[in-house]
Chains A and B, each alone.
Chain A
Amino acid sequence: MDGKFFMVEGIDGSGKSTAVNAIKDYVISKNLKVLDLRAFCEQKNTFPDDDEIAESDIIFTSEPSYSFVGKALRTELLSDDNSYPAWTMAHAFALDREILYKRVVLPALKKNKIVVQERGLPSTMVYQPIQDKISLSELMRLPGNKIAAENPPDTLLILKTKFEEAISRLNARFSNKYSIFDNLLFQRKIEERYSSLWLRGYFEKLGTKVYSFGTSSPVTVEQNRKNALRLFQEMVGNSVKAKEKQTQL
């Protein structure tokens, strides 16, 4: 793989979008051609084809995705009104991942593109064994999860924030939908898993550079943006500058 793959992880409200937006603003300022998968899927209700990937320099993706199985996850399977069985959820996440990787992420990396993704395999490894009581080894046998493990990110940024602070950020975004008492124990377990040595070790063994930054106060939004951008610049090295020149020519 010649491209570069950057992944941002962390609980809801930990600042993933802020980190990704810092990178997005930067590459736009450098005249890179951005393919925003969410906007693309919402507009066309499908995934981009090879040509559309080839035309872009950098692709912003997220999991669950926004078409097909990803859309089913967001609109139906993860809806508060429904409770689908554990294995259904595990299959759905893995299948969405398999389609996203085969259709977008891997072709993009093969074509020397940069991919920046919010959430992915680490989310499955952190949440699903707790939420759905499916063992990690069973999860890792699912085809979509295998593909993701075979194609790990170059850089993995894990954002850590105090649960209480994440909740107040989410409430500001979703009009007080969340209660601080909701699943406090569950959230603590999730925090622990994101901070764990086994998770870091797993990805380091695959060759991923793993970084973990706090985003709770006194860390500011600006600092979160700066940290993410610095790691991104480290990952891409001179390639963004080179593209800048090409665009100017």
Chain B
Amino acid sequence: MPKNKFIMVDGLDGCGKGKAIEALRDLAHSKKLKTFDLKTYWKDYDIIPTLQDIGDAEVIISAEPTYALVGKGIREEIIKDNKREYSAQSTAFAFSLDREILYRRLLIPALKAGKIVFQERGIVTSIVYQPVQGNISLNEVINLPGNRLALQNAPGLVIIPKLSAKTAMARLKGREKKDDAIFENLPFQEKLKERFESEWLQTLLKNNGSKVEYIDNEHTSVDEFKSKVAEVVAAFLKF
């Protein structure tokens, strides 16, 4: 019996998280499950919905940072490539705060109610990025209130698409939509890749009840990658 029906997809920018989430959405629809897409919801509403707001949907498709309130501040101000600099500490506080509101208002009640949650990025991103960004240690990061809450309610399954930082960067460049985020340079991405694939990260996640699956996205076609993601998650959810 898995710990919960919470699946998080995390990894480098350009590693295929979006494609993985697409595969999971298709998987849910193929099982005739109703999905509630937070990104779509946030186009119209600047709040974090509650369990009541998602109605009879069985699957929540979520993302961090959110696009509402603190998450909007992170995307439009804190990690945006503007002239204003925010320290790693402030950035970590912001991610933790955004996370705390998302978990308290929606994710924890939803998981308790037996909903399936597919989420792009989350606590794994904070653990990987923030300590290498500057003035905050891993220990400080995981002890922030929102991060502690997220580890207490860690996903049953973490999927990390695996590919070289170079390929990921190349894929980012080919994209139309640019995030303008401050993290997108090769040496930094290489450091992140090492952390995403490290033993200590796997141990930390396992100790909090998460199973970690790396899925190759370097030597495969998009379709092969997507069907592998769907296969792993279907097995986890016992579909």
A and B, one complex? yes
Instruction: Give the bracket for the number of chain A residues in contact with chain B.
Output: 20 to 34
Selected interface stretch from B91-99, B118-126, B183-191: B91-99
Contact A95 B105 (CB under 8 A): no
Binding site secondary structure of chain B: helix
B13 within 8 A of A: no
- Give the CA-CA distance A82 to B77 in the complex, in Å: 26
Give the number of chain B interface residues (Cβ < 8 Å).
26
Knowing A88-B145, A88-B146, A102-B84, say if A67 contacts B73 (CB, 8 Å).
yes
Could you list 9 further interchain pairs (A-B, Cβ under 8 angstroms) beyond the known A72-B69, A92-B97, A98-B86?
A46-B76, A68-B70, A68-B77, A69-B73, A69-B94, A72-B97, A76-B69, A88-B145, A143-B87
Sample of 15 A–B contacts (CB below 8 Å): A45-B46, A67-B73, A71-B46, A72-B69, A72-B101, A76-B47, A88-B145, A91-B93, A91-B96, A91-B144, A98-B90, A99-B77, A102-B84, A102-B86, A143-B89
Kindly list chain A residues whose C-beta atoms are within 8 Å of the C-beta of B97: 69, 72, 88, 91-92, 95
Binding site secondary structure of chain A: helix
Cβ 8 A contact of A144, one of B47, B72, B90, B146: B90
- Tell me the B residues contacting A by CB distance below 8 Å: 46-48, 69-70, 72-73, 76-78, 84, 86-87, 89-90, 93-94, 96-97, 100-101, 104-105, 144-146
- Give the CA-CA distance A239 to B96 in the complex, in Å: 43
- Smallest CB gap from B73: residue in A: A68
Knowing A45-B46, A68-B70, say if A95 contacts B77 (CB, 8 Å).
no
- Tell me the A residues contacting B by CB distance below 8 Å: 45-47, 67-69, 71-72, 75-77, 82, 84-85, 87-88, 91-92, 94-95, 98-99, 102-103, 142-144
Q: How far is the CB of A66 from chain B (nearest CB, A)?
A: 11
- Give the CA-CA distance A58 to B189 in the complex, in Å: 43
